[in-house]
Amino acid sequence: MTTPKTTNPEATNPEATGTEATTTGTTPGTRTRSRRRERVWWALVLVSAVAVSAISALPFLTLDPASSRIPLNPGVAAHYLSLVVHGLPGVLLLAIGPLQFARRLRVRYPGAHRVLGRVYLVSLAFAAVAAVFAATFSVSGLPARVAFYLLAAAWVYTAVRGYRTIRAGELGLHRVWMIRNYALSFAAVLLRVFLVTGEAFLGVFPSLDYADVYTTSAWASMFVSALAAEYFVIARLTDPLLRRKVRA
């Protein structure tokens, strides 16, 4: 989510932002509606990410294991520490992510975009390593652990691809990979949404327990985030760009 130090070609490169590619060949009214929808979705992501970040950060700031909302492994003292090391950087990158996708901010303040991008990636590195330890110590069972292992692996992989593409000056591919990466970051928000929704059904279905809700929420948050990212990449970036090339 950083830009090359030499130039800021986003202002003239449609592939770099994706926004121009989505509006080529459309009427002014269609472009306006499209931009409004994008701004609404961006605002929803920003507000939900910041809200969840603020709520999630409070238990970690107390450094009191009793305040943890996640069941702790009583036989592993480092379990809570791994959650703190995962949670605090995760909260930071959740809040940074939406700002990095705001085109106006990228174009006007490329230096800030680069700095925030570096902070995002460093935070992700700490959070991902801690996530592996936290999943290993988790008392939620093997299915939930596997979900978190896969999420951590995909999280790191997409971040590495995003970093390599921007170092190579491939702005369009950088945007694609960072969309995928932040979608996986946003799985933390969806996890809490699914958990709250699932907990509402605990009293309705006596056979349902919290472990089932937690495992289902872990898998669902990962898949929904990944599918949403691919939809955006295809529908909002790749498909309009291909249509533009065909018309040309």
User: Half-sphere exposure of 207 toward its Cβ, with a 13 Å CA cutoff?
Assistant: 0
Task: Supply the pLDDT for residue 93.
Answer: 92
Q: What is the mean pLDDT of residues 10-32?
A: 49
Work out the average pLDDT over 183-208: 87
Region of 156 on the Ramachandran plot (φ > 0 left; ψ -120 to 50 alpha; else beta): alpha
Which residue range forms the structural domain that includes residue 103? Answer: 20-247
- Across the range 7-11, mean pLDDT stands at 48
The answer to whether residue 65 is domain-embedded is yes
Q: Which of 26-35, 126-135, 183-192 has the lowest mean pLDDT?
A: 26-35
Is residue 85, in this structure, part of any structural domain at all?
yes
12 in a domain, yes or no?
A: no
DSSP-assigned letter for residue 13: -
pLDDT, tens only, 68-106: 777 777 888 888 888 888 888 998 999 899 989 888 888
Residue 127 contacts residue 95 (beta carbons within 8 Å): no
Number of residues that this document lists for the chain: 248
The values of phi and psi at residue 109, to 5°, are -130, 70
Model confidence pLDDT, tens digit, residues 136-153: 988 888 999 999 999 999
How high does pLDDT run on average in the chain?
81
- Res 57 pLDDT > 80: no
Dihedral sign of CA atoms 42, 43, 47, 50 in order: positive
Cα separation values, 41 from 37, 38, 192, Å: 6, 5, 19
Nearest to 158, CA basis, from 130, 189, 193, 187? 187
User: Mean pLDDT, to the nearest integer, of 212-236?
Assistant: 90
Token pair of 55, please?
């709520």
What one-letter code names the amino acid at 214?
A: Y
pLDDT above 70 (res 226): yes
**DSSP-based three-state secondary structure for 74:** coil
Identify whether 150 is part of a domain: yes
| Average pLDDT, integer, range 34-38 | 69
The answer to whether residue 13 sits within a structural domain is no
Q: What is the pLDDT of residue 204?
A: 77
Residue 7, in any domain of the structure? no
Question: How many domains would you assign to the chain?
Answer: 1
Lowest mean pLDDT among 51-55, 75-79, 125-129, 163-167: 51-55
144 CB neighbour count, 10 Å cutoff? 20
Distance CA 39, CA 61 (A): 32
Q: What percent of the chain has pLDDT over 90?
A: 40
Which has the closest alpha carbon to 34: 23, 20, 46? 23
Average pLDDT over every residue of 23-27: 50
Most confident listed range (11-25, 64-78, 166-180, 234-248): 166-180
Beta strands in 114-239 (DSSP E): none
Region 156-165: mean pLDDT is 96
d(C-alpha 248, C-alpha 245), whole Å: 5
Residues 161 and 182: beta-carbon distance below 8 Å: no
3-class DSSP string for 193-206: HHHHHHHCCCCCCC
CATH number at residue 236: 1.20.120
